[in-house]
Amino acid sequence: MLNATTAEIVERKALRVNAAKTCQPIGAMYASLGIHGCMPHSHGSQGCCSYHRSHLTRHFKEPVVATTSSFTEGASVFGGLANLTQALRNIFTIYNPDIVAVHTTCLSEVIGDDIPTIVKRATEEGVVPEGKIVIHANTPSFVGSHITGFSNMVSAIIKYLSEKSSPKEQINIIPGFVEPADMREIKRLANLMGVANVLLPDTSGVLDGGLDGTYEMFPKGGTTLPEIRSTGDSQATIGLGHFTGHPGALTLETKHNVPATLLELPIGVGATDAFIQTLRAFSKDGAVAAQIETDRARLIDAISDMQQYFHQKRVAVAGDPDQVIAHTQFLLELGMKPVYVITGSLGNHFEKRLHELLDPVVPEAKIKQQSDFFELHQWIKNEPVDLIVSNTYGKYIARVEDIPLVRVGFPILDRVGHRFFPTVGYTGALRLIDMITSALFDKKDRSCAEEWFELVM
């Protein structure tokens, strides 16, 4: 299977082979898990929910809990009103969450179920207990990707729950589709700057928890409902990532006139600098915390020390659009050459932004949205690269072509450190440098002549 990719490239208009994305409900489920006391609910068949849960579980190595409307042939014909009503009755009776976040699937979208009407009727009939909340987002799998689903659910959370009462000296941060460790690092940076903040969603403490002998259906982590309600009173919202952070920030600006500041994921030097500079505007004295300056100095030192190993190395980058844009910018800061850059998701901003980054320094770079790993492999067969930066699915190319691989983004199914160690911020960039140099050095140790097999690089 690994050697079946041909070097001859034929234009494909519809067929995707090893697509660099997955479906909307997975992203919606992940966003829902970032709300404290929330039960994600898949309005569709059991098979859909099982796939989404298992994919997230394999990535985070944690049990992902979600419920389903369990569609059968009858629901496919007559609609899912009875299934969702019964599901809500069971959920609140058995699990007693504070909130249920419903996301749709292909089948319920094709049928055209009116979720708000079903929920309203269930509430009037007493199926939804007093004080409990049900929200929903439309996330058909045949449109967009898991990135779209995450964004749609975050926007739905804001539309349903954010309120405006009295101004608060705090900001909102929408972190985008990143790891729990990344969300924890974003909060750490904001707290070091002395900026009160609400992170939405927040999966730290939910999908990277410890083992203390007691199982918690709803872990201690996650953004609380009072925090979400208060987002309408904040001074501003920082949206991180064009595809996953910006839409929610703009939704809040439209609903409650909370100013939106739109940044890229803070990966690498420049993007993290921009994030810290934005936080300075909301800090009391405008000073940068000493710990942050130290972290940045360490990063610059590491880049300087390792420069000779990065210089002009050809790199292929694939994965989620926000991650790919941020990693490409960081690779340029390292002096590397991202020559192939793809995502499986749609959105013209992806190609536009990458042309802005790459055209001045790597004019020969190939940039493509809605691409797949098969096409990336074909490009590599014609003109090889020195490194691949992608999710786990890049390992098939890396193995057959004997190319070092650095795993970033979603999903990472065959490693464990990604949920514990951030890649955002200055400390996250240090980890990326360690991963990149280790991958390059491992390849050199495997392939170099014996007289070049050195103890010290």
50 shares its domain with 107: yes
Residues 299 and 440 in one domain: yes
Give the tens place of pLDDT for each residue, 83-133.
999 999 999 999 999 999 999 999 899 989 999 999 999 999 999 999 999
242/303 same-domain check: no
Same domain, 396 and 298: yes
Percentage of the chain modeled with pLDDT above 90: 86
Please give the Cα distance from 38 to 160 (Å, whole number).
14
Task: Indicate yes or no: pTM above 0.85.
Answer: yes
pLDDT confidence of 10, banded at 50, 70, 90? confident
Q: pLDDT of 298-331, one tens digit each?
A: 999 999 999 999 999 999 999 999 999 999 999 9
The answer, yes or no, to whether residue 1 has pLDDT greater than 60, is no
Say if residue 238 is in the same domain as residue 307.
Answer: no
Q: Residues of the chain with pLDDT > 70: what percent?
A: 100
Q: Write out the catalytic residue numbers.
A: 106, 110
pLDDT at 40: 97
Residue 6 predicted with pLDDT over 80 = yes
Could you tell me whether strands 314-318 and 197-199 are parallel, antiparallel, or unpaired per DSSP bridges? unpaired
In a domain, 58, yes or no: yes
Range of the domain at 38: 24-143
pLDDT tens digit string along 146-190? 999 999 999 999 999 999 999 999 999 999 999 999 999 999 999
Q: Of 237, 260, 285, which one is at a domain's C-terminal end?
A: 285
pLDDT at site 15: 85
CATH number at residue 321: 3.40.50.1980
Residue 124 sits in the same domain as residue 196? no
| 259: in domain | yes
Residues 434 and 380 in one domain: yes
Omega before residue 180 within 30° of 0, cis: no
Average pLDDT over residues 364-390: 96
pLDDT number for residue 2 = 62
Strands (E), 54-147: 67-68, 99-104, 133-137
Does residue 308 share a domain with residue 427?
yes
262 - beta bridge partners? 239
User: Looking at the structure, do residues 228 and 252 belong to the same domain, yes or no?
Assistant: yes
Q: Verify that 417 and 312 share a domain, yes or no.
A: yes
Q: Cα separation of 109 and 227, whole Å? A: 31
| Tally of domains within the chain | 3
